[in-house]
Amino acid sequence: MGLRENGSRIKLAGAALAFLAMLPAGGLAASEAGANAQSSSAQGTPQAPAKNGSQSDDQRLSVNPVTGQTTASSADFQPLTGSERWKLYFRQSYWSVGAYVGPLLAALALDQSRGDPKQWGGGFPGYGRRLASRIAAGDIVQNSFQFSAAAVLHEDVRYISSGQHGFKARAGHAILYSFLTYNNQGRPTLNLANLGGYFVASGVSTLWLPGQHRLATYTLTDGSEALGLSVPVNLFQEFWPEINRTLHRRK
């Protein structure tokens, strides 16, 4: 009993630390926008435009209906403002079709098809539990950690498209940017917020998953699986403009 209780306490402490890590980020994101504005005004230059030409907020923060991601072009990169970060957080996590298509597909293809975890059974009741778990871990825990940490680290949370031509060059870029992103200056940097989000979500999910799970082992294996899945998702995101045009031509 003592070992079980200690294990539960460790898990709860990990979840609490992850939650606490989220709390200061909202203020930091807002202060980041304020600091950028003050710096620009002090230098006598306007703040970098948030919109490019006729690009509206809806276009700039558009969420892919399949992947639940947003794209920023490497050819004409503009960093997100503090308010845009939080608009995008709510869109990607709760207020878009893409926020739910990913968990629906993942719960069906990865969990329901394998009957994992087996304690949840099959049929619609089992699928409902697996779907709820995917939404809680991905949309809530992972996105909350990623957006909060990215605000602190000045990392962009969007997928950075290549702007290149040719399948090989674009595919290689998509694979590379499963691990990289841009900072606020438009320079490539390790995507620590996103990478960390996979493992935090995996660790916290052990709080509600049935059965016995070794926290460190499950966090490493499940987080690595989620990271591996980000590669085909980014490939789909990179070639989404062509896919979308093809779909509209057939209508």
pLDDT for the residue numbered 56 = 61
Q: What's the whole-number mean pLDDT along residues 230-239?
A: 95
Single out the residue of 26, 80, 85 nearest to residue 51, CA to CA: 80
Structural domain includes residue 204: yes
Structural domain includes residue 7: no
DSSP H helical ranges for the chain = 2-22, 25-42, 57-60, 82-93, 98-106, 123-134, 143-153, 167-176, 192-205, 215-238, 240-249
CA 64 to chain centre: 12
Structural domain includes residue 15: no
* DSSP character at residue 121: -
Residue 229 phi, psi dihedral angles, 5° rounding: -70, -20
pLDDT tens profile 37-87: 443 443 443 344 444 444 566 678 899 999 999 999 998 899 999 999 999
Structural domain includes residue 5: no
Structural domain includes residue 62: yes
SS3 160: strand
Q: Environment class of residue 50 by beta-carbon count within 10 Å: exposed (0-12), middle (13-18) or buried (19+)?
A: middle
Q: How far is CA 88 from CA 35, 62, 105, 128, 174, in A?
A: 20, 8, 22, 26, 21
Q: Is the peptide bond before 117 cis (omega within 30 degrees of 0)?
A: yes
Residue 131 phi, psi dihedral angles, 5° rounding: -65, -45
CA 18 to chain centre: 16
* DSSP character at residue 181: E
Single out the residue of 94, 71, 95 nearest to residue 156, CA to CA: 71
Q: Which two tokens stand for residue 40?
A: 């620009």
> Which range marks the domain in which residue 180 is found?
55-249
Q: Environment class of residue 222 by beta-carbon count within 10 Å: exposed (0-12), middle (13-18) or buried (19+)?
A: buried
Stronger pLDDT, 116 or 10, i.e. the higher one: 116
Stronger pLDDT, 56 or 189, i.e. the higher one: 189
Question: Which residues, at least 6 apart from 207, have a Cβ–Cβ distance to it below 8 Å?
Answer: 11, 12, 15
Q: Which of 69-73, 84-88, 112-116, 200-204 has the lowest mean pLDDT?
A: 112-116
Stronger pLDDT, 122 or 33, i.e. the higher one: 122
Structural domain includes residue 71: yes
Q: Residue 179's CB: how many other CB atoms inside 10 A?
A: 15
pLDDT for the residue numbered 43 = 40
Structural domain includes residue 61: yes
Q: How many domains does the chain have?
A: 1
Q: Average pLDDT of the chain?
A: 81
Q: Is the pLDDT of residue 20 over 70?
A: no
Stronger pLDDT, 59 or 119, i.e. the higher one: 119
